[in-house]
Amino acid sequence: MGSQHSVVFDQVIESSVVDCFSVRELALCPAEAVRPPAPYAEGAILTFISLFGEHLTGTLLLAVRPDLAEALSLAVGPGGETQAAHLDALAELSNELLGRIKNRLLPYGVTFQLGLPKALACAGFWLHTVTGETRRAHRFTSPRGDVWVWFDVVVGPDFRMLPFDESSAKCLPEGELVLF
């Protein structure tokens, strides 16, 4: 992936994450994505969702500590006390996040489809990649703990990112609904 593409992807991911969490009244601040010695060794809630298009394919992975997942789940409404509710809330959050990313890439001519989000609780995890330099790691800090987002995408040789198209940027704001 070219460096210009990486810059656009990074900007879109960072703004999408900050906005998506702010709707849930959690202020996030982008931070340096240093790799901790043992990422989430104390446990984590992970969600992942695939994306696929004509010239790109990949995965979005979102990771938070269990107590942050609980707070986000309870913010949605009553009934968020169980681990199943935490997993469901984070799966929906990753779906909304990738939808925001997709919406914000449209003015660059980038389109893709989303898979179904999956969520799991784990005691700890480490990431390994087989796709080389395409992983985009993003860390965000908050008073409630760090949020990690990895955007692992493989672009084909015919992938092209168009110059920003202002008329395409006037699409519906996130959260709006269009029925066809």
pLDDT tens by residue, 109-126? 999 999 999 999 988 766
pLDDT at 41 over 80: no
**Looking at residue 168, what DSSP letter applies?**
G
pLDDT at 98 over 90: yes
Domains in the chain (CATH in brackets) are: 3-159 (3.40.1550.10)
Mean pLDDT, residues 123-139: 66
Mean pLDDT, residues 94-116: 93
Angstrom distance (rounded) from CA 123 to CA 81: 19
Q: Please return the burial class of 113, using the count of CB atoms within 10 Å of its CB with bins 0-12, 13-18 and 19+.
A: exposed
pLDDT at 180 over 60: no
Higher pLDDT, 59 or 81: 59
What pLDDT does residue 122 have? 86
Residue 148: how many other CB atoms lie within 10 Å: 21
What pLDDT does residue 44 have? 86
Mean pLDDT, residues 163-167: 80
Which residue, 89, 81, 84, is CA-closest to 20? 89
pLDDT at 146 over 70: yes
